[in-house]
Structure 1
Amino acid sequence: MATIRKKGERQWHVQIRKRGYPTQTKTFSIRADAERWATIIESEMERGVFVSRTEAEATLVKEVLERYETEVLPTKRGEKSDKSRIKTLQETFGDYKLASLTSTQIAKFRDKRLKIVGPQSVIHEINLLNRVLKTATMDWGIALPGGLPTAQVRKPIKPRGRDRRVTPAEVDKILDVSESVELRTVVTLAVETAMRRGELASLEWENIDLKKRIAYLPKTKSDVPRTVPLSTAAVQALENLPHQISGKVFSLQAESMSQAFERACESHRANIANLRFHDLRHEATSRLFEKGLNVMEVAAITGHKTLEMLKRYTHLRAEDLAKRLG
């Protein structure tokens, strides 16, 4: 039963005691608001769906974002990108209390951001907010009475993935024009193994066994280590690469790989248009299927977690499929 008492000249203090639930108290400036709140809380307790709002009402969104950035992000591969996204989320939701965050507010954020950045960027931002709220509820004990508001927001439609195939002639051109043995090896490995740019940049000789023809990746974008088989071409490229004292396979950083690749494509000798470094991963994935590997085998090599993502990276040529039909 709720007890409502006048507190001072302009406040109303509500206290609700019910067996099996912690005592709930709250102060209002208008009696009608106090009565309305008491009715809602008592109804939830009667129906067995009550969740305490106390901590969610006392915690700001920026506080959980800051805690997530300090405690969780350092363990994630996408720390740098997520730090930028957290800053964007703080600017919009930072001063909201967790209990007041609604799906409508997040949907408005989605629509506003879509006028500035692409759908995939907005999806990443909403997904990050969802991970932060889920961590707050599951690991930090901050209950959200209405559940995760992000779960009730429609995500933007993903843009159509690139379907640019890289021809063997184009790969040969890039290898021919490049004066860097490192870049030639990077390109060869990318198109032979489907490794991501960051995975190539982090390769270390101690994790490569040329006799067994495997490369172990302890850290990946998906946070799941994997071992990648090496083709004959990949092994030959690594055998011809000088070893560094640092133990790393490449001195080039991930961003430098893309820049060097773009310069090679744009050089007057190669003159290759509309080609990005990441297209090599798409090409490699498609070639694995064309070699006859099944879905599970390709996923084990590329590290794709879902069939949907694997399909976005696979661009099989109709003429090649026609040959297999006989």
Structure 2
Amino acid sequence: MPTIRKRGQHQWEAQVRRRGYPAQSKTFTTKAEAEAWAGMIESEMSRGVWVSRSEAEATTLYEALKRYEEEVSLSKKGAAQESSVLKNCKAIDLAKRPLATIRSADIAKLRDEWLKNYKPATVLRRLAVLSHVFNIARKEWGMESLSNPVELVRKPQPNNARTRRIAASNAPVGTPVGDEPESERGAQNGELERVVKASSSTLLPPIIWLAVETAMRRGEIVSLLWVHVDLNRCVVHLPSTKNGDARDVPLSSRAVAVLQALKDAREDANDAANEDDEDDVDRVFKIRSDAVTRAFERAVARARKIYVDDCKTAKLKPDGKFLTDLRFHDLRHEATSRLASIFPMHELTKITGHKDPRMLMRYYHPRAEDLAKRLT
């Protein structure tokens, strides 16, 4: 039988002792709550389904997020991006509460608050991290009694899929640098050419051309090593990618020209410094991923301003869509759509690194006029 005793004027302590189980005790403000809790614990022990709730009741969400970041997140490829999500989750009021007290209604309220200021895809990423924290606590941190309140909450439907195509020169994929035909659409062509011209970075232009020619991710490009570049075979090897699999990426003639120019400049710099070029594991681009994004955003903004000024000088109305809403990841979309006109789906997945063709379709956005040409 459980023991219920009064402690002070406004507290009741319930104790449950049963052979084979550690003694359990908890304090409540009313005798009824103490009796209900003791009855539940004793019933679970009798049925052999009792598990300790003490750790889940003593660990706050903030503490769980911090432990998750140290033990789980740091080993992930996207640790830097997830660190930002964890930082935001630590700042919410719910982080002060013990894990055991957080219910699905709390998560639903948090979801609705986030949706007021963030896109559904952002909210989905945050909810996914929270869900994983609860699952890890339950499966690996000895909190078997803990339920995952995120699993019971309706997830927002992402509506921010990108379909942005880039207005570029009429040169097909594989055209060597400098051999592009002159545009037939005037200012409406050559978004990337204008961005490259407006960039003040020496690394950004080759990164842009390599991205739009190969469909490689930003992180894959900046982590590329010279030892994995084979210009004779026109292939670069990616030993570690976002989905965990290695892959070989074929290089177009334009991509080869970009890398060859970088390699020649590297060798000339080593010769000028009287150094032996023995360090074959040097990174091709010594720049961080976030720096690439910032440089690209600045170049796009400058290119847009120059374009608007050119239109004013020519007394033309600027196109509101030209050089606006352009992101670096759009280069991967553009490259995939261009490569899809050359390779069948099963070969394209090997180039882009998509395991699921359905995910690949999110990156493939053919122009209607290009499809119409196939019908003639």
| Common fold: TM-score over 0.5 | yes
Q: 1:1-27 CA distances to partner (integer Å, 9 max, x unpaired)?
A: x422426454332215377xx345122
What's 1:94 paired with?
Answer: 95
8 Å contact 1:183–1:260 — kept in the other structure?
yes
What's 2:71 paired with?
Answer: 71
- The answer on 1:190 being equivalent to 2:211 is yes
Percent identity (aligned) = 41
- The answer on 1:139 being equivalent to 2:190 is no
What's 1:113 paired with?
Answer: 114
What's 1:220 paired with?
Answer: 241
> CA shift at 1:159, angstroms?
2.3
Change (3 A) 1:167 1:103: same
What's 2:56 paired with?
Answer: 56
In the alignment, the residues of structure 1 paired with residue 248 and residue 288 of structure 2 have an alpha-carbon distance, to the nearest angstrom, of 21
8 Å contact 1:210–1:235 — kept in the other structure?
yes
Change (3 A) 1:183 1:270: farther
What's 1:253 paired with?
Answer: 288
In the alignment, the residues of structure 1 paired with residue 34 and residue 154 of structure 2 have an alpha-carbon distance, to the nearest angstrom, of 34
In the alignment, the residues of structure 2 paired with residue 305 and residue 184 of structure 1 have an alpha-carbon distance, to the nearest angstrom, of 29
In the alignment, the residues of structure 2 paired with residue 88 and residue 252 of structure 1 have an alpha-carbon distance, to the nearest angstrom, of 26
Q: 1:142-193 CA distances to partner (integer Å, 9 max, x unpaired)?
A: 2244x21111111222123121111331244445666766333212110111
Q: 1:39-95 CA distances to partner (integer Å, 9 max, x unpaired)?
A: 333454566654432221122222211111222222223323322322222222322
What's 2:163 paired with?
Answer: 163
- For the residue of structure 2 that corresponds to 1:216, the secondary structure is strand
- For the residue of structure 2 that corresponds to 1:168, the secondary structure is coil
Change (3 A) 1:7 1:211: farther
Change (3 A) 1:297 1:34: farther
What's 2:347 paired with?
Answer: 297
Q: Residue type of the partner of 1:133?
A: F
8 Å contact 2:163–2:365 — kept in the other structure?
yes
> CA shift at 1:198, angstroms?
2.2
In the alignment, the residues of structure 2 paired with residue 291 and residue 176 of structure 1 have an alpha-carbon distance, to the nearest angstrom, of 28
Change (3 A) 1:142 1:306: farther
What's 1:285 paired with?
Answer: 336
What's 1:128 paired with?
Answer: 129
- The answer on 1:230 being equivalent to 2:281 is no
> CA shift at 1:108, angstroms?
0.7
- For the residue of structure 2 that corresponds to 1:26, the secondary structure is strand
What's 1:313 paired with?
Answer: 363
Q: Residue type of the partner of 2:67?
A: R
Q: Residue type of the partner of 1:197?
A: R
Mean CA deviation greater in 231-240 or 74-83: 74-83
Across the aligned residues of Structure 1 and Structure 2, the Cα RMSD in angstroms comes to: 2.8
Q: Residue type of the partner of 2:36?
A: R
- For the residue of structure 1 that corresponds to 2:24, the secondary structure is strand
8 Å contact 2:27–2:34 — kept in the other structure?
yes
In the alignment, the residues of structure 2 paired with residue 90 and residue 228 of structure 1 have an alpha-carbon distance, to the nearest angstrom, of 39
In the alignment, the residues of structure 1 paired with residue 139 and residue 245 of structure 2 have an alpha-carbon distance, to the nearest angstrom, of 22
- Aligned residue pairs total 321
Change (3 A) 1:257 1:54: closer
- For the residue of structure 1 that corresponds to 2:91, the secondary structure is helix
In the alignment, the residues of structure 1 paired with residue 199 and residue 96 of structure 2 have an alpha-carbon distance, to the nearest angstrom, of 52
In the alignment, the residues of structure 1 paired with residue 361 and residue 242 of structure 2 have an alpha-carbon distance, to the nearest angstrom, of 18
Mean CA deviation greater in 148-157 or 223-232: 223-232
In the alignment, the residues of structure 1 paired with residue 358 and residue 290 of structure 2 have an alpha-carbon distance, to the nearest angstrom, of 27
